[in-house]
Structure 1
């Protein structure tokens, strides 16, 4: 394919929500066109086709990616109506070979043009969160190992990231002045609901503080944890499954019982019978 771009090709064939889902269109203060579930479904199908038409990507298909962030809230949990983009971690083996990586990015750009989407409707800018290549590889392999697929086609497979990682990323972004607070709070609560089985197995504050999947060795800000904790208990969406429950609690270790416990909203002692990670 001398003289052509890496992705070029001679042919181009192509949790139940509530009654009205919120659209946080001020997400990362950008004014970009948003992606609904239908938009993502169509774009994923077209990307699957483009990857099959490109000689570089077709040679190593299926192309595996791991997605995190708003796409999970929208497509997997239906907690809101749309997201700004689809954040992905591309298979590190592909990222390591420029011809393959460029081909994938070119196919993504072709889908953007075909569907009149933002150029970076799908992007891997989340690499800034996982700056170390070894960390990205570990997160990628662990997520693929869980085998929770958002999309599975002939040439493309998209897996959802471990929710603990998704929650940490949201917790660390809640206080970002360049982002809309509501979108990250809402997503954090959404992920927390499913991680804690709707508040029946809450996380301890110390668990949240010590989250460090990006390997930066920096504690999660207490203010961010408090905001998510309060938003969960406030239950602004009137979700009956979490009414009166807690997503994040103060855990206390009882040396005599050799167990952790916490106080529920009624002041009762609840002994922890599950593994605290």
Structure 2
């Protein structure tokens, strides 16, 4: 008999309480595994909705938890099934050395979104997340992406001690392998100014 498929969790259902419950269950499952316990805590990066709900609180819920596992984790393929039980899907695609560099830089950034006995989740590097947001804003025009980008930019401005140079933002095109849309950058800059009353990007 084929197993009954689990229903997809919608954005309306998967709020912060649901996320915390799922992650606690995942943390327990990792602790039960003899193989995984040898390399715990398992380290993940996250971007997108989980960061928005957990850190910035500009969303009430999200459809899923986007993540990338530490590429240096031993026997990484063996533990992926454990994560699939608690996390609906993975939407982050980074390859080769870029994956390792992103992970190291994100751990150095040290923004911890969730920590358990066996699992720790870091926010992905802000520059990488913003580059993806700007690319999406330029092509899909979703309001929630603009809201996320304004919150991320606020964090970056705070850490930078002032607004970012336009040239710095444009340099992130190397992250997404395509020139970033100036109209998208301007939309984020305008939305930031409207939200905070000061410039976040020196246009």
TM-score by length of 2: 0.85
Separation in 1 of the partners of 2:190 and 2:155?
17
Separation in 2 of the partners of 1:156 and 1:196?
29
CA displacement 1:128-153 (0-9 Å, x = unmatched): xx3x3101100101111232211121
Residues 213 and 149 of structure 1: CA distance in aligned 2, closer, same or farther (over 3 Å): farther
Separation in 1 of the partners of 2:114 and 2:16?
12
Residues 200 and 63 of structure 1: CA distance in aligned 2, closer, same or farther (over 3 Å): closer
- Higher alpha-carbon Rg: 1
Deviation for aligned residue 1:199: 10
SS, match of residue 159 in structure 1 = strand
Q: Which residue of 2 aligns with 1:167?
A: 130
Do the aligned partners of 2:131 and 2:176 also contact (CA within 8 Å) in 1? Answer: no
Q: Where in structure 2 are the equivalents of 1:179-194 lying within 5 Å?
A: 181-194=142-155
Separation in 2 of the partners of 1:184 and 1:53?
37
SS, match of residue 186 in structure 2 = helix
Separation in 2 of the partners of 1:182 and 1:199?
26
Residues 224 and 126 of structure 1: CA distance in aligned 2, closer, same or farther (over 3 Å): same
Question: Gaps spanning 5+ residues in structure 2: where?
Answer: 1-7
Do the aligned partners of 1:65 and 1:158 also contact (CA within 8 Å) in 2? Answer: yes
Deviation for aligned residue 1:234: 2.6
- The structure whose residues are more often helix, as a share, is 2
Residues 57 and 158 of structure 1: CA distance in aligned 2, closer, same or farther (over 3 Å): same
Q: Which residue of 2 aligns with 1:206?
A: 167
Question: Gaps spanning 5+ residues in structure 1: where?
Answer: 1-30, 113-118, 236-241, 251-277
Alignment: residue pair count: 194
Q: Where in structure 2 are the equivalents of 1:1-277 lying within 5 Å?
A: 33-34=10-11, 35-94=14-73, 100-111=75-86, 119-120=88-89, 123=90, 125-127=91-93, 130=94, 132-177=95-140, 181-197=142-158, 201-212=162-173, 214=175, 216=177, 218-235=178-195, 242=196, 244-250=197-203
Q: Which portions of structure 1, spanning 4 or more consecutive aligned residues, are displaced by more than 6 angstroms?
A: none
RMSD: 2.3
